[in-house]
Every structure is written in structure tokens, then in C-alpha cells.
Amino acid sequence: MSDGPQDAPDKSPAPSTSPRCRACQLQLCKSRSERPHAALTESKGDSMMRGTEQQFLCKTCGATLINSSDLAKPGWRHQR
Ligand SMILES: [Zn+2]
């Protein structure tokens, strides 16, 4: 017999579900012309990347950040 939904009433201050490290969080707030933070290493994206986007891999948290020079897109964004 189950007791209904188990919605752990924990009061942990976990800020949503963000596995990104602080440097990456900050990076996403920066403008497209800002350089990647120190732990970001450029990685070659797939052929889907049409030259307007650079892909970076964070050595700290493993997140993949995209820097786009396409004005229709955010300068920095996170890719899952
Ligand atoms: Zn990171």
C-alpha cells in the first residue's frame, strides 16, 4: 500500500536543478563579447554549428556552454 505522493518536504535551499558551477552561471549573464571563463575549453561542435557558434566545455562542472555571434540568439547559453 503506498501512502500517496512522496514529495520530500525537505527545506534544502537547492537553487532549482542547476549543476553548473558558479563561473558558468556568471558566464551565462555576460555579453556575447565576453571571453569564456578560465575553466572553459573550446570544443569542436558538430557540423550543426554553422560558424556563428563556439562550443565550450567546462572543466569544473562539465557543462557545455555555447557562445553565439548570432544576434538572434543569446550570446551565452547552456547546452545540455
Ligand atoms: Zn562550469
* 40, 63 Cβ separation under 8 angstroms: no
Residue 63 Cα, ligand 1 centroid: separation in angstroms?
A: 6
- Residue 44 has a pLDDT of 76
Q: Domain locations in the chain? A: 22-79
Q: CA 68, CA 6: separation in Å to the nearest integer?
A: 41
**Per-chain residues with Cβ under 5 A from ion ligand 1:** 21, 24, 58, 60-61, 63
pTM given for the model:
0.70
pLDDT digits (tens, 9 = 90+) for 15-74: 556 679 999 999 999 999 999 999 999 987 565 556 789 999 999 999 999 999 999 999
